[in-house]
Homo-oligomer: A and B are copies of this chain.
Amino acid sequence: MTMGEPVFTLRETVLPTDPDAVLHLVVSTGFFTGEEIRIAAELVEENLDKGAEKSGYHFVFMETGDGNVGDGNVGDGNVGDEIVGYSCYGRIPGTRTSYDLYWIAVGKRWQRHGLGRRLMTATEERIAALGGRQIFIETSSTQLYHPTHVFYERCGYILEHTFPDFYAPGDSKLVYVKRLG
């Protein structure tokens, strides 16, 4: 690797430090309400308590470091590694092959480097490997989320439906979908 170029590793196993890390990352984006932030951390805790299968919440973490566990460098789960982004997804209960992308976020200072796109692709690959055929994303219609809508559309998601005033008066829910394979 080239000196000075950051290396990023993907990790799927959830660690006890992740609820806090996710909390800080989600707060740093400035996008989410207090209740949403609390929910983001709770989903990580549910995975830790019950496992990915039983909780229904799977994760992809993108972090700094080379991913070589125990070599004493960054990326081995030691202090110094930093989560730069993460996604949370799961099969929608009661469905056979429909998945929700519950969260995808990149920390404020790591944005605009294409990391969100890489995280999205990695997440879609994992969903496809689990047999997923449709991925749904729900998001707010408000102006704050305009860059998010553009991001989803660039990633190939189609606006399936708008639920007016869903979150609050004037704040509608957009449902995006991507059909796989």
Q: List residues of A whose CB falls within 8 A of some B CB.
A: 33, 35-36, 39, 92-98, 133-134, 160-161, 163, 165-169, 175, 177
Query: Which B residues are CB-close (under 8 A) to A95?
Result: 166-168
How far is B171's CA from A133's CA once the two chains are assembled, in angstroms? 13
Listed from nearest, the 8 A-B pairs whose CB atoms lie closest are A161-B161, A96-B168, A95-B167, A98-B166, A36-B94, A39-B93, A95-B166, A35-B94
Contact between B167 and A98, CB atoms less than 8 A apart: yes
**Given contacts A160-B163, A161-B161, A163-B160, is CB(A94)–CB(B39) below 8 Å?**
yes
Copies of this chain present: 2
**Contact of A168 with B97 at beta-carbon distance under 8 Å, contacts A160-B163, A161-B161 already known:** yes
Residues of B within 8 A of A161 (CB): 160-161, 163
Q: Evaluate contact between B93 and A35: CB separation under 8 angstroms.
A: yes
By a CB distance below 8 angstroms, the chain B residues around A39 are 93-94
Residues of B close to A175: CB separation below 8 A: 163
Could you tell me the distance between the alpha carbons of A98 and B161 in the complex, rounded to whole angstroms? 16
25 sample A-B contacts, Cβ–Cβ < 8 Å, listed by A number: A33-B94, A35-B93, A35-B94, A36-B94, A39-B93, A39-B94, A92-B166, A94-B167, A95-B166, A95-B167, A95-B168, A96-B167, A96-B168, A97-B168, A97-B169, A98-B166, A98-B167, A134-B165, A134-B166, A160-B161, A160-B163, A161-B161, A161-B163, A163-B175, A163-B177
Give chain B residues whose Cβ lies under 8 Å from the Cβ of A165.
133-134
Q: Tell me the bound Cα distance from A175 to B160 in angstroms.
A: 13
